[in-house]
Amino acid sequence: MKLVSTVIGYPYIGENREWKRCVESFWKGGITEAEFLSDMKKIRLDHLKRQASFGVDLLTVGDFTFYDRMLDQAAMFGLVPTRYKWTGGTVDLTTYYAMARGAKDVVACEMTKWFNTNYHYIVPEYEDSSMKVTKNYLLDYFNEAKEEVGLITKPTIIGPYTFVQLSKGYDDTSKASFYLKLLPLYVQVLQQLVDAGANWIQVEEPALVFSMSEDEIKLVKFIYTQLAEEVPAAKIMLQTYFEGLSAFEELSRLPVSGLGLDFVHGRKGNMASLHKYGFPQDKVLGIGVVNGRDIWRTNLAEQALDAKAVLSLSGVKEAWIQSSCSLQHVPVTTTSENELDPVLRNALSFADEKIVELTQLKSYICDVDWDGNKSVSQSMLANQAIALHEARKNKRVKELVSQVKTEHFTRPLAFKERQVLQKEVLHLPYYPTTTIGSFPQSDEVKRTRRAWRNHEITDAAYDEFVQKEMARWISIQEAIGLDVLVHGEFERTDMVEYFGEKLSGFAFTEKAWVVSYGSRCVKPPIIYGDVEWTVPMTVKEVVEAQKWTSKHVKGMLTGPVTILNWSFVRNDISRKEVANQIALALREEIKALEEAGISIIQVDEPALREGLPLRKEHWNEYLEWSVQAFKLATSSVKNETQIHTHMCYCEFNDFIEPIRALDADVLSIETSRSHGELIQSLKRNPYELGIGLGVYDIHSPRVPSVEEIENILNDSLQVIPKEQFWVNPDCGLKTRKEEETIASLKNMVKAAKKLRQEQQQSV
């Protein structure tokens, strides 16, 4: 039997975020387009050389991007919406980045979560126009690797079924037209790669792990039968991940040369399918046994046993040992993390280390002579050491969790009764205006924080700076005319990291960055021990800000499920138990805010939906404990205290019941790129609690006009009563420039005030 170690995908960000710096320098005009393209090529090739140095057998190209891979393919196929006034030919970088980020006179394409990860992709828009291959960038990358590094690589492309499933702009009738136009383009791309010498082509079809109807199964069969007939020489590795393959009996027999399966997140389903249906003997099996979505060191002995079980069940003649999915969801390397607890550091494995683990697993499975090689025993000892760590034995936390009762999940009064009390206490106008929480983190803010972290300035000097910045922005908000203010979060780097730094059980890295969207990178905290509240985390800043205004200043917290989903989480206890530990800690913080006189407290849950299992039949268990975690954190407040929450890129229509179940007094939801769709959703599913639909896109540098916001407000009033209606941007303003932020908020407040006047005149 032949075994090959391979990589599904590699982080394009770079160990020191070289990619991010290059992209942002180009956006700011710091480098020319020629310099940008040259720098990007160097980063790409350096990544290939780096992976090759670890001894992996088959490397991948096409996992690199200038912004997002779904956007790359939309541009490659000429799928450019008419509003960008593209005139044909290769899609230029100006048009490409306008689709990603918007421009002065045009809104960006919609952005949403990539399956149940924290990565956001650009949603392609189909307008029933003609399509063509504008530039086969995969061919360029393949030739580049062959000519400059001497490697025959495996090009990767997002498959047609997944590409269409994740696109928008078509209905049941035009969907067929979309496929008929798209398939010849895939044929052209595949044929060019075959002609260039590609031995294997990876076609990623993660959408095949969703539950599928008979018609969808027939469609997938048609797609791959067509590709096989048109490009018979193409050896396709059909790659799935994040769950078990749906309709295994039929889809495992598609006319492709290989099938990649996730034996980490989809282990139960895929193993059951192998037991029941076996595996086609004419195919190569991709065995995803190294977890591509977490940062814990692989127990090589356990995973080797799993891989051997898969090999025995399948009986294949050739298999690939690979990660469960692309490694873009983990940081690049642990080599820079020298400040961590040694036991914890030794238990970690990022992208580079996972590639080494793949090569070690391959050798171990092949029964290579391991005399003197301690990799397997070392991985076992590292896992045992972290399991016994003192941080995982906090008796007080375990006692608090055991004491949780049913009444801890419910507020004393229903929303309508609370609403009356809150109106009397808060004295807010109709259509109250507010922001989501953060304000621009200027270069000065970042420099000062960096100087403080590097001990170049004192704690007192840093506190004084933060207070001045808060005071300045309270004054700006007063001048703009906002009704409910925020302190601006200038003391915070990241909405999860900030809280993790103040709770026990968390660890933080120096360079463990991952991409969230575009060039926005985050360093997820590591939850490695029991989580406990020890001191107030936010009270000082919010109370200080409240002194400078007679208007209400919101307390700003990140919710328990978002902290969970945006962290790398310990794998020795259930996620439910970790969520409850975090919720109890936040419950203490909310109590402290309330005792300090804060009457509006926002507990953001932008990541609530992304934690959903990919198949709906598995949703209920997750939703039950995740909603309960939010309610455990928030239900102890007085009825007069108003609880807000915020969500990002949420498919509202199929998620309204869990949102309603949160019982938050006010929901703000990120909808500016898909506002019309949400309006239709609210027509079908009215929402009875307070709600603010994001009236402009904060991910774009453009300033919306008053008229543009007015139109959105008037559309929203068709489905939201004025008693429930809030006006806000669609997300935090941390990444925006000060001038555009102030201009946008002024227009937002003008539109809201105009609406109030019109309502008063009509009475």
Q: In what order do the strands lie in the sheet with 318-323?
A: 2-5, 318-323, 284-290, 258-262, 236-239, 201-204, 154-158, 60-61
For 431, the token pair is 């259509």
Please give the distance of CA 318 from its chain centroid, rounded to a whole number.
Answer: 34
Q: Is the pLDDT of residue 652 over 70?
A: no
Q: What share of the chain is helix, strand, coil (3-state, %, to 5)?
A: 45, 15, 40
Six token digits for residue 729? 């941007």
Give the residue carrying structure tokens 């200043």: 553
pLDDT in tens, 140-185: 999 999 999 999 999 999 999 999 999 999 998 899 999 999 999 9
* Dist. CA 102–CA 99, nearest whole Å: 6
What is the reported pLDDT for 674? 58
Q: What region does 289 belong to: left with phi over 0, alpha with psi -120 to 50, or beta? A: alpha
707-734 pLDDT, tens digit per residue, is 999 988 888 888 888 899 999 998 888 9
pLDDT of 558 higher than 80: yes
- Count of CB atoms situated within 10 Å of the CB of 401: 16
DSSP code, position 406: G
Percentage with pLDDT > 70 across the chain: 97
Q: Which two tokens stand for residue 273?
A: 């399918």
Q: What is the mean pLDDT of the chain?
A: 93
- Tell me: the pLDDT tens digits for 211-224? 999 999 999 999 99
- How far apart (Å, rounded) are the C-alpha atoms in residues 83 and 72? 18
CA 307/CA 289 separation, integer angstroms: 7
- Quick one: pLDDT at residue 676? 62
The pLDDT-based confidence of 735 (bands split at 50, 70, 90) is confident
Q: 47, 120, 675, 699: which one is catalytic?
A: 699
Could you give the residue ranges of the DSSP H alpha helices within 555-704? 560-565, 575-595, 619-634, 656-661, 675-684
- Go through the chain and tell me how many residues it has: 763
Q: Residue 746: is its pLDDT beyond 90?
A: yes
User: For residues 641 and 599, what is the distance between their CA atoms, to the nearest angstrom?
Assistant: 5
The answer to whether residue 637 scores a pLDDT higher than 70 is yes
Per-residue pLDDT, averaged over 518-541, amounts to: 95
Distances in whole angstroms, Cα of residue 10 to Cα of each of 119, 151, 287, 412, 413: 14, 16, 17, 50, 51
How far is residue 712's CA from residue 679's CA, in Å, rounded to a whole number? 10
Query: Can you tell me the mean pLDDT for 5-15?
Result: 97
* Residue 742, CA atoms < 13 Å, CB-side half-sphere: 11
- pLDDT for 673 equals 58
Category of 303 on φ-ψ map: left (φ > 0), alpha (ψ -120 to 50) or beta: alpha
How much is the pLDDT for 762? Answer: 67
Q: Which residue has the higher pLDDT, 675 or 405?
A: 405
What is the spatial distance between Cα 257 and Cα 233, in angstroms, rounded to a whole number? 10
Q: Is 699 a catalytic residue?
A: yes
pLDDT tens digits for range 194-215 = 999 999 999 999 999 999 999 9
pLDDT band for position 609 (50/70/90)?
Answer: confident
- Exposed/middle/buried for residue 119 (C-beta within 10 Å: 0-12, 13-18, 19+): middle
Per-residue pLDDT, 546: 96
The 3-class secondary structure across 449-474, one letter per residue, is HHHHHCCCCCHHHHHHHHHHHHHHHH
Lowest mean pLDDT among 1-15, 16-30, 51-65, 731-745: 731-745
Q: Which residues contact 173 (CB under 8 A, 6 or more apart)?
A: none
Query: Per-residue pLDDT tens for 15-24?
Result: 999 999 999 9
Give the model confidence (pLDDT) of 411-439 as tens digits.
Answer: 999 999 999 999 999 999 999 999 998 99
pLDDT at 696 over 70: yes
Q: Are 710 and 675 in contact (CB under 8 A)?
A: no
Nearest-angstrom CA–CA distance, 122 and 167: 9
Q: Write down the residue that tokens 């919010």 correspond to.
A: 542
Residue 513 to residue 509: CA distance in whole angstroms = 9
User: Amino acid identity of 238?
Assistant: L
Give the pTM. Answer: 0.90
Helix (H) or strand (E) holding 101: helix 93-101
pLDDT band at 650 (very low <50, low <70, confident <90, very high): low
Domains and CATH numbers, the chain: 2-92+126-330+343-390 (3.20.20.210), 413-762 (3.20.20.210)
- Radius of gyration of the CA atoms of the chain, in A: 26
